[in-house]
Structure formats: C-alpha cells, structure tokens
Amino acid sequence: MTELDFDRYDRIRPIRWTGDALELLDQRKLPFATEYVRCESSDAVGEAIHALTVRGAPAIGIAAAWGVVLAARSIEAVDGAEAARKLEPAMQRLHAARPTAVNLAWALVRMNRALGAAGPDWREVIESEATAIATEDLAANRRMGALGAAMIEPGSGVLTHCNTGSLATAGFGTALGVIRAGVAQGRIDAVFAGETRPWLQGSRLTVWELQQDGISPTLIADSAAAHLMKSGKVQWVVVGADRICANGDTANKIGTYQLAIAARHHGVKFMVAAPSSTVDMETASGEWIHIEERDPGELFAIGGVRTAAEEIGAWNPVFDVTPHQLIDAIVTERGVIEHPDEAAMRAAFA
C-alpha cells in the first residue's frame, strides 16, 4: 500500500494528547455523536478505560501510558526511580481498570522501565515513551495489515467480530487493518461484521468506521455467523486479541470462540491479528487467563430499553479463549505464525 492508500483508509483517531490533558473519543456514544472526553488525571483515564469510553487492547495500553504522564503531574521526585515508587499506586489503579487486556500491563511495565532508567529529566522521558508507544502501534498496525492481507485470496469474503480498527488502536487497526489492506488491494470483495452483544461494538463501531473509509460492510446478528459460513460467502474470519498465550491460545471479545468452532466445521480460515505487545509468553495457555466479568445488568437492556423480565439472573463474561488448534494464523508486525503452537510461538517470541 502507498502512503496515499494509508491516508485514505486511516482517518480516525480515538486518542489525542493536548499537552495538558488526554482526550478520548467517547465510543459509548458512537455512531450518533462524535464527542471527546477530556481526562486531566490518571484516575479519570482509569475510569474511562473501565467505562469503555476507550476500548480495544492497544488503545487501552496507549491511554494508560498517558495516564502515567498525568499522574506524574501530582508528584515531585529527584529522578525516575523515586518517581516510579511514588507513581506505583496510580499505576496499580490503572491496571485494575481492565485486567484481561495484556497491552495495559505491558504499557505500564514499559513506562515503569523508562522511569527506572531516567534521571532528573524523568518527566520528559515518560512523555517521550508514551508518544513512542502510540507511534509504534500505528506502524505495527500498518505492517500487520499488509502481512495479513497477503494471505487472503482475491475475491474473498471476510467476517470480523467486535471492533479492531482505528477506534481500538493508535490508528488503522489490527484485524480491521488487515481488512482495510485487503480491500485496498482488491483481495476482499465482501466484509461482514457481527453485532457483538451486549455492547454492540460491531454494529455501533465497526460498520460505522468502515463506512467512514468508503467500505460498505454487511451487518449480521451474532447468531447468523454459522449460517453465513455455510452459505460459502466467507473464506476468512479475521479477529483481534486482548491476550495471546505462549502456546498460541488467544483471549478476545466474547463470541470469538464460537466463531472459531464454526469456521473449522465449515472449512473457513481463522486469523488473529494483534501487535506483539499482546503476546504474553509468561502465560502458558488460555486456562490461566483471567476472564473479566462485567455487570450482569448490561444484558437486561438495549439502548436503555429493558428487554428482560425483572428479577432474573445473568452471566456476563467479556472475553473467551480460542484454543490455538482452531487458529490458522496469528499475524503480528513481526510476521505470520501459521498453525500456532508452543514451539512456533517460542521460535517467534523467545
């Protein structure tokens, strides 16, 4: 893809640093209102992460990095090591906002490491580090897009889940970056997006985001995915990840696992696209991933209108784990891992 192509398919920025505050595109209000929430403290950033004002593993990590910069405004320290000790409570609160997404912990560890090596200029050092995290994510997404698209045969249909685009990253997107690159190269003829209950990231965010780039997606109910695959209209399922384990198991938005099962049954290829910052080689397999559960009340209504009877119970896990045996390819900016397993993962990320 040329730079002109990138510009055409990369128009949305969910995170803006103003120099004194972090502005986050409020994804709860899309597609009907485009508003930014201004965060002037690290706790405001943590609340925005927990409340899904900002979402998507890479975007959460970037926001958390800027949260550390904001937390630094309230302390004094002679060097980075002292600052790191004083900032530890703020970093712990940021980490607790969304524990499943490994990018959040990764970004905080990276910020802490930069502090530990910094001298009296530690404030400038961490601001530069936060900028670098965002810049590197954008470059990684563009690289992933090219690598993933190259695997897709011209004329293909693809199905995606949740939102993995510019809204979930520094820009361009992970799985949606693959789709953008595939469309630009003429490899993808049809894009299908699952609605992604209960927060409807597919219907509220993904189809809107693709529309902004002149791509015409088709929205489907989550429960229509297997029937769509049976029709022969889809050759690839392309999704993102919030954590990739040492054996290639991946955690992603709830509903991903059932897509992988249906794809294997129907001979549809299954691709996971995520930056290397999502890879967690310290977690052996998906059995050890903490699965976040949110308020069951999120299941009782759509758009503020209650759809369930009163006084019933609900279970609301936010993520599920797809076993590596169901994944045909993991794509990161470092390259493509086909048929991932522990040996392949260690060869790529030792």
List the binding residues for substrate. 55-57, 98, 201, 252-253
84-93: string of b/e by CB count within 10 Å (b at 16+)? beebeebbeb
The fold for domain 141-349 equals Rossmann fold (3.40.50)
Is the Cβ–Cβ distance between 210 and 12 less than 8 Å?
no
- Mean of the per-residue pLDDT values for the chain? 94
pLDDT at 4: 43
H helix runs in the chain, sequence order = 3-8, 42-50, 57-71, 80-96, 102-116, 122-149, 175-184, 201, 207-212, 225-230, 256-266, 342-349
Q: For the packed helices 102-116 and 80-96, what is the interaxial angle rounded to 10 degrees?
A: 170
Can you tell me the distance from the alpha carbon of 41 to that of 19, in angstroms, rounded to the nearest whole number? Answer: 13
Regions of the chain where pLDDT drops below 70: 1-7
pLDDT at 143: 96
- HSE-CB of 49 using CA atoms within 13 angstroms: 31
**Which residues are part of the catalytic machinery?**
242
- Of the candidate CATH numbers 1.10.3720.10, 3.20.20.60, 3.40.190.10, 1.20.120.420, the domain formed by 3-139 belongs to 1.20.120.420
Percent of the chain scoring above 90 in pLDDT: 89
The neighbour count for residue 130, using CB atoms within 10 Å, is: 25
List the binding residues. 55-57, 98, 201, 252-253
Parse the chain into domains and list their residue ranges.
3-139, 141-349
pLDDT at 258: 98
pLDDT in tens, 289-313: 989 899 999 999 988 899 999 999 9
Strand partners, 306: 301
pLDDT at 7: 64
